[in-house]
Amino acid sequence: MSNSAAGHAAYATPREKRIVIHNGFDSARLKRVALPSTERGPVMIAMIGRLDKQKDFRTYIDALAILQGKGVAFRAFIVGQGDDHEALKAYTIQRDLRDVHITGFVSEIDTFISGVDIGVLCTDPAHHAEGISNALMEMMAQGKPVVATDDGGTPEIVDDGNNGILIPPCDAEALAGKLDLLIRDERLRKQLGANAAKTIATKFSLDEMATKFLQVYDGVA
């Protein structure tokens, strides 16, 4: 049993024995979320995850540098903690990024996400086989459009062009182009975000996960 088909593929489990039950998101969490301020500045972009090689923050930073070089207005965040904190901080300085903030650990992550406009998840398959990302689920549950690497279990939750956008691994130019599109097109952001929230509510809910576990138990009883 795995929470992603990608996990089975990574470990080469026998096909006839594979069962996939995706993680479920607890929508009750969102009842406690404080609403963001109605005063809006530049579009806010965030990538959330461990600050280590398992998450490809450098491609994210490179894409932000491309956007800045084109004069695109945005505010961006690197959210999380890990061994690469200082290295990533130095890299943002090296790329001369002006409005990029490394927050460290954020305890009220749902409230933080409520103020974000676009979510990002970059991964490098050379270092890590992504499963079903909790960060993606959290952002999509709140109706945030996401741009993510087409790798591992991510395509099992992100349907390219429908509830988010997929890009090739380690491709800063592709990421910058998709972020630029979403920054400029508010209607597209809302459309992808609405579909993202529907995906989580219907396919990645706690009820859906529990139902599938019960089906498995009934099948072996």
Q: Which domains does the chain have, with CATH numbers?
A: 38-205 (3.40.50.2000)
> Average pLDDT of 150-168?
97
Above 90 in pLDDT, residue 192?
yes
pLDDT at 147: 98
Above 80 in pLDDT, residue 96?
yes
Decide if 182 contacts 145 (C-beta within 8 A): yes
Mean of the per-residue pLDDT values of the chain: 92
Above 70 in pLDDT, residue 39?
no
Rounded CA-CA distance 174/195 in Å is: 22
Above 80 in pLDDT, residue 49?
yes
Above 80 in pLDDT, residue 34?
no
pLDDT category at 37 given cuts 50, 70, 90 is: low
